[in-house]
C-alpha cells in the first residue's frame, strides 16, 4: 500500500527544489482572554446597559450618516450642538443639497475641519441622490464609496441604522482592545477583526456601544477609573489599579459632559 505521508514529502521536496517554499503565515495577535472570560465581560456589560445607544443625535439613517461624518476629530456633544439646527432645516439629501455648502458651513462652523466637512456633506447628498435614489444603502461596499465615508463610519451606520453586528473601531475601542489585550492589533482593522472573532454572537449587536461607553466613562485614556470598573477582576491590563469589580447594576444614561472626548 502506498505511504500517504510519502506524497506530502515528495510535494515538499519539489517545492523546496523549485525555491518556492511558502513563507510562514504572519501570526494573528491573540486575545489574552479565554472564551469564558470574554463571555463574562460582555454578559456584565449587557447587565449594566441592556439597551445601549449611541450619543450622536439623528432622526433617520441620513442624518446619522451625516452626524458620523461630522464627528471625526470632534466630540459627540459638539456635533449634537451644531446638528440640531442643521437637521431641523435639512433631514434629507434633497433638502441638504438645496441648503447648499455655504449654509451647511454656517451651521457646523463650531466643528473642527468644518470647511472640508461642509463640502463632504454636499457631495455625499449629491451621491446619495444620484446613485441611491436619496436612500442610505445598507451595504458596506456601497457606503465606503460615498464621499467622506470610511470603514469606521460605514460600520457605525450599519450597526445603528441597519442593526448589523459590525464593530466600528474608534479611538476608545482601539485603546481597550490593546490595553486589556482583548483584541490586540496595530491597526483599527486588526482590532476589529480580533473583536469580531472573539465576541459571542449574541453580544455583537451592542458590543460596539458597550466598548465605546466603557472607554469614554471608565477605562479612560489618561487615567482609567479601575475602582468604578465592573470587569476589574477579569481585566489583564498592566495599568489596572484595582482587582475588585464595581457592583453590577443597571445604569441610567450618563450626561454627555461626563464623557472623555475621542482623540
Q: How far is the CB of 59 from ligand SF4 (least distance, A)?
A: 34
Looking at the Cβ atoms of 205 and 240, the one nearer to ligand SF4 is 240
Looking at the Cβ atoms of 111 and 180, the one nearer to ligand SF4 is 180
Determine the 3-state secondary structure of 220 from DSSP.
Answer: coil
Asked if 146 contacts 127 with a C-beta cutoff of 8 angstroms, the reply is yes
Asked if 124 contacts 153 with a C-beta cutoff of 8 angstroms, the reply is no
Q: How far is the CB of 239 from ligand SF4 (least distance, A)?
A: 5
Q: Which residues have a catalytic role annotated?
A: 152, 170
Looking at the Cβ atoms of 67 and 219, the one nearer to ligand SF4 is 219
Question: Which residues contribute to the site for ligand SF4 (CB under 6 A)?
Answer: 180, 218-219, 224-226, 229, 231-232, 235, 237, 239-240
DSSP code at position 160: H
Backbone phi and psi for residue 209, each to the nearest 5 degrees, phi listed first = -70, -40
Euclidean distance between CA atoms 214 and 27, whole angstroms: 29
Q: In 3D, which of 170, 70, 71 has the Cα closest to residue 120?
A: 70
Q: How far is the CB of 229 from ligand SF4 (least distance, A)?
A: 3
Asked if 225 contacts 259 with a C-beta cutoff of 8 angstroms, the reply is no
Residue 66 exposed, middle or buried by CB count within 10 Å (0-12, 13-18, 19+): buried
Looking at the Cβ atoms of 31 and 153, the one nearer to ligand SF4 is 31
Q: How far is the CB of 189 from ligand SF4 (least distance, A)?
A: 23
Contacting residues for 211 by C-beta, under 8 A, at least 6 apart? 45, 172, 173, 176, 195
Looking at the Cβ atoms of 107 and 214, the one nearer to ligand SF4 is 214
Provide the phi-psi class of 113: left if phi over 0, else alpha when psi is between -120 and 50, else beta. left
Q: How far is the CB of 46 from ligand SF4 (least distance, A)?
A: 16
Amino acid at each position: 500500500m502506498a505511504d500517504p505521508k510519502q506524497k506530502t514529502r515528495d510535494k515538499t521536496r519539489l517545492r523546496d527544489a523549485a525555491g518556492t517554499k511558502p513563507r510562514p503565515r504572519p501570526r494573528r495577535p491573540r486575545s489574552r482572554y479565554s472564551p469564558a472570560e470574554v463571555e463574562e465581560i460582555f454578559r456584565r456589560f449587557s447587565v449594566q446597559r441592556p439597551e445601549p445607544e449611541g450619543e450622536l443625535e439623528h432622526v433617520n439613517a441620513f442624518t446619522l450618516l451625516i452626524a458620523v461624518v461630522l464627528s471625526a476629530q470632534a466630540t459627540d456633544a459638539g456635533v449634537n450642538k451644531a446638528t440640531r439646527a442643521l437637521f431641523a432645516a435639512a433631514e434629507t439629501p434633497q433638502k441638504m443639497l438645496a441648503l447648499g455648502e455655504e449654509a451647511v458651513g454656517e451651521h457646523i462652523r463650531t466643528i473642527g475641519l468644518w470647511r472640508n466637512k461642509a463640502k463632504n456633506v454636499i457631495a455625499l447628498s449629491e451621491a446619495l441622490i444620484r446613485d441611491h435614489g436619496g436612500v442610505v444603502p445598507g451595504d458596506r461596499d456601497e457606503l465606503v464609496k460615498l464621499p467622506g465615508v470610511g470603514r469606521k463610519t460605514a460600520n457605525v451606520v450599519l450597526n445603528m441604522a441597519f442593526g448589523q453586528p459590525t464593530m466600528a473601531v474608534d479611538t476608545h475601542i482601539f485603546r481597550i482592545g490593546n490595553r486589556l489585550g482583548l483584541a490586540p492589533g496595530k491597526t483599527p482593522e486588526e482590532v476589529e477583526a480580533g473583536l469580531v472573532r472573539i465576541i459571542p454572537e449574541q453580544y455583537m449587536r451592542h458590543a460596539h456601544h458597550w466598548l465605546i461607553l466603557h472607554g469614554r466613562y471608565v477605562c479612560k485614556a489618561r487615567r482609567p477609573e479601575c475602582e468604578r470598573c465592573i470587569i476589574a477582576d477579569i481585566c489583564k491590563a498592566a495599568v489596572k489599579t484595582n482587582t475588585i469589580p464595581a457592583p453590577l447594576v443597571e445604569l441610567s444614561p450618563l450626561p454627555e459632559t461626563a464623557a472623555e472626548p475621542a482623540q
